[in-house]
Structure 1
Amino acid sequence: MNAEFINPFISALINVMSTMAQIELKPGKPKRKSDDKAGGDISGLIGMVGENIKGSLSISFEENLVLEIMDKMLGERPASINADVKDMVGEITNMICGGAKNELSQKGFEFGMATPMVVSGKNHTVDHQVDGKKIILPFSHISGNLYLEMCFND
């Protein structure tokens, strides 16, 4: 997977988390992923399709971190993941993919974005529905971890 293509998603993630939620993330080591198990308790998934691109992006949050983000973004902290948290995760997923899309379009990569889907629950799975290699990039914060996953056609 091309770093030129992945880096805009990382930049968009860091930008959205720092500006919208005042959350500073510490990046971990990227690695290949071979299963569909999500790293967190709630995940936003969005598909991307263009002339030469077919892929998907997921962002998976551990519960404590997503509740911290909800508190910082909206000033309310529910006791657990609820419909409002799911809506927020969908919006965050959309903002990150949109930010990366803007940067990538300046490099000649054009693609459309689907409506984000949100899945939650302990041990849930994320199906990228793309035949290609998956990469997972872990990020940590004092409140918990999040996992950025990307999968693009070969």
Structure 2
Amino acid sequence: MDQRFIEAFKSSAASVLGSMAFTQATAGVHYVKQDEQSTGDVSAIVGLTGQWEGSLSVSFAEACICGVVGNMFGEEIPAINDEVEDAVGELTNIISGDARRRIAELGVIIEGAVPLVVAGKGHRVRHMTSAPIWAIPFETPVGGFVIELCLTPAAL
């Protein structure tokens, strides 16, 4: 995995949460994840194609996403509901798009599909390639979330 891709997703997530949800997101140390178990209570998964192929997921703990969406809507959100799930998909789509724009500036074109949202404690996230899954943990004042990135160069 090109480490510049990981940096693009770190920067994009911090930027998107800051501008859309008025929430500071600080990236931790990224690592290779060993299983399919979600780290959060609601996730969005995006298929990626182009010069690199694979998938991306963003998984939020319930307290985190309720706080983030509450900041976006200007009201308290007590639990994950349909609006929260929609927001997870939109946030993931925007983070993905911004990161892919940053990666395009490096000369690499990656396209993204429409996010699929999965909710529920203990759900699994299956990535689309057998490449290593890079996990990027984030902390916010309202809780944590994790971006998972699984990419491999496309076969020509």
TM-score normalised by L of structure 1: 0.94
In 2, Cα distance between the equivalents of 1:36 and 1:129?
A: 11
In 2, Cα distance between the equivalents of 1:147 and 1:97?
A: 13
Q: In the alignment, does 2:57 pair up with 1:58?
A: yes
In 1, Cα distance between the equivalents of 2:30 and 2:106?
A: 23
Residue 91 (structure 1) aligns with: 90
Alpha-carbon distance, 1:119 to partner: 0.6
Alpha-carbon distance, 1:74 to partner: 1.4
Can you give the 5+ residue segments of structure 1 that lack an aligned partner in the other structure?
none
What amino acid sits opposite 1:125 in the alignment? Answer: R
What amino acid sits opposite 1:109 in the alignment? Answer: V
Q: In the alignment, does 2:33 pair up with 1:41?
A: no
What amino acid sits opposite 1:12 in the alignment? Answer: S
Residue 151 (structure 1) aligns with: 150
In 2, Cα distance between the equivalents of 1:93 and 1:11?
A: 13
Give the % identical residues.
35
Number of residue pairs matched by the alignment: 153
What amino acid sits opposite 2:77 in the alignment? Answer: P
For residues 5-154 of structure 1, the aligned pairs below 5 Å read: 5-50=5-50, 52-153=51-152
Alpha-carbon distance, 1:31 to partner: 1.0
What amino acid sits opposite 1:141 in the alignment? Answer: T
Q: Deviations for 1:47-87, whole angstroms, at most 9, x for unmatched residues?
A: 1100x310211111000110011111112333211111010
What amino acid sits opposite 1:105 in the alignment? Answer: A
In 2, Cα distance between the equivalents of 1:141 and 1:106?
A: 28
Q: Deviations for 1:25-58, whole angstroms, at most 9, x for unmatched residues?
A: 22222111110011110011111100x3102111
List, as ranges, runs of 4+ consecutive aligned residues in structure 1 with deviation greater than 4 Å: none
Can you give the 5+ residue segments of structure 2 that lack an aligned partner in the other structure?
none
In 1, Cα distance between the equivalents of 2:100 and 2:26?
A: 23
Q: Specify the SS of the correspondent of 1:131.
A: coil
